[in-house]
Structure 1
Amino acid sequence: MTSTRQPVQLVCLDMAGTTVHDDGAVLAAFHQALDTIGIPAGTPEHDSAVTHALDTMGQSKIEVFRALVAGDEHRARLGNQAFEAAYDHHVGSHGVREIPGAADTIEQLRTAGHHVVLTTGFSPTTRDRILRALGWNDLITLALSPADAGRGRPHPDLLLTALLRTGTESVHRLAAVGDTTSDLLAAHRAGARIAAAVRTGSHTDADFATVPHTHLLDSVVDLPALLDTAAADHS
């Protein structure tokens, strides 16, 4: 029996850990931010906060800080600002690099007719600085932060906003790829046809096993072949 399902039209890719090499910058910036808001290294509170940060990788950073300071908005914003400044400093002083093959993969996806949208928990300012450093502004269709969509991951807002802005016909034509459980939960909640985990970031196969997902890839470079296989299976 021939399937009437159409091939993937929109591909949403996470940034840090999925398409952008982190080099530990996120966690280093988080350590500095914790010190800024009075949670110094060497304390049980600091250790607990770092564990929370690792568990919630991929989520909106402001929401992570809000959870850590029990809703104290001033401290949350102070922590988030310190995090963004520390990460920006890393980008400015050390540069930023792609996950090997990421740019070529994005180009391949665009050439094949897919919209490619990058999603991130970073602020638009930090996100755009990374894109400029990589020279990716003309490579992608769109880039989205929680500020552009409403809520960050694990909520589906980023993916659904990408769907609306690109005019994609249905969530059944959406593929979402990320390196954290939050990425996968967002994809599942958005109803994405493909919710793929990659092994190039902060979470492991054991982490991925705790949340719904459709595929597990070594790297984003494996995605075009997966999409080709999916299209053939439903032709």
Structure 2
Amino acid sequence: MLTSRSSVQLVCLDMAGTTVEDGGAVLAAFHRALDAVGIPTGTADHTTAVAYAVETMGRSKIEVFRALTGGDEARAALANRAFEASYEEALDTQGVREIPGAADAIELLRSAGRHVVLTTGFSPATRDRILHGLGWHDLVTLALSPADAGRGRPHPDMLLTALLRTGTESVHHLAAAGDTTSDLLAAHRAGARVAAAVRTGSHSDTDFATVPHTHVLDSVTDLPSLLDTLDAL
């Protein structure tokens, strides 16, 4: 068990792009969702909307659609349903895969006495289908969606909910990792000791440089050794 007062006790990991490979399914689902609400492929509005979706990767999907539909709740809900149907179809046809080494990294984190919580902008239903496909329900301590916490990223709600539900003593014992600027902003706003970017998903080092963060890693597989090093300081 971890005994240091400065040790990381809770690790929150994003799903798509950080621990889970999506094979382009998220972006394809955005295209279909936009078509469903009358922003058709091939138009300037569609191109602009996709650019916004990429920029805001990691955020709650319904919030993204609210922004893209000008706050029209009915259209946002329609877009969200189309998005999730497309993504779940991809899960059925392509299956779901981990980022190479992600499960082993989670096992290392857990074996060091750390809680591991997965966070995502997906709905609970889609999140749970991914966990079922990977066989990860028993691998992690908890998995959270915006619906479980109040607001999605870049707000800190999911991270703070994870802290409360796991009984973690303080945000000084929290580490978070993700592949988007929204992940990093959420970690920063939560006061996490570690806000680590990973290079396996949507955003690049150039994107990461625009928001507060503590580390940039090639992969989530680098996180266990980083935390072990920090705990030894």
User: TM-score category by the smaller chain?
Assistant: over 0.9
TM-score under structure 2 length normalisation: 0.98
Matches within 5 A, 1:68-79: 68-79=68-79
Q: Work out the CA distance in 2 between the residues paired with 1:228 and 1:5.
A: 14
Q: Work out the CA distance in 1 between the residues paired with 2:210 and 2:123.
A: 28
Matches within 5 A, 1:1-235: 5-233=5-233
CA drift of 1:22 comes to: 1.4
Query: CA RMSD, aligned part only?
Result: 0.7
Q: Work out the CA distance in 1 between the residues paired with 2:220 and 2:196.
A: 9
Q: In structure 1, what residue type is equivalent to 2:212?
A: P
Give the 4+ runs in structure 1 shifted more than 2 A. Answer: none
Q: Work out the CA distance in 2 between the residues paired with 1:197 and 1:22.
A: 18
Q: Work out the CA distance in 2 between the residues paired with 1:216 and 1:19.
A: 15
CA drift of 1:104 comes to: 0.6
Unaligned runs of 5+ in 1: none
Q: In structure 2, what residue type is equivalent to 1:113?
A: G
CA drift of 1:61 comes to: 0.1
Unaligned runs of 5+ in 2: none
CA drift of 1:132 comes to: 0.1
Q: Work out the CA distance in 2 between the residues paired with 1:224 and 1:214.
A: 15
Q: In structure 1, what residue type is equivalent to 2:174?
A: L
For residue 232 of structure 2, give the secondary structure of its aligned residue in structure 1: helix
Identity of aligned residues (%): 77
Give the aligned length.
230
Q: Work out the CA distance in 1 between the residues paired with 2:229 and 2:111.
A: 17
Q: In structure 1, what residue type is equivalent to 2:128?
A: D
CA drift of 1:5 comes to: 4.2
TM-score under structure 1 length normalisation: 0.97
Q: Work out the CA distance in 1 between the residues paired with 2:44 and 2:6.
A: 52
CA drift of 1:93 comes to: 1.1
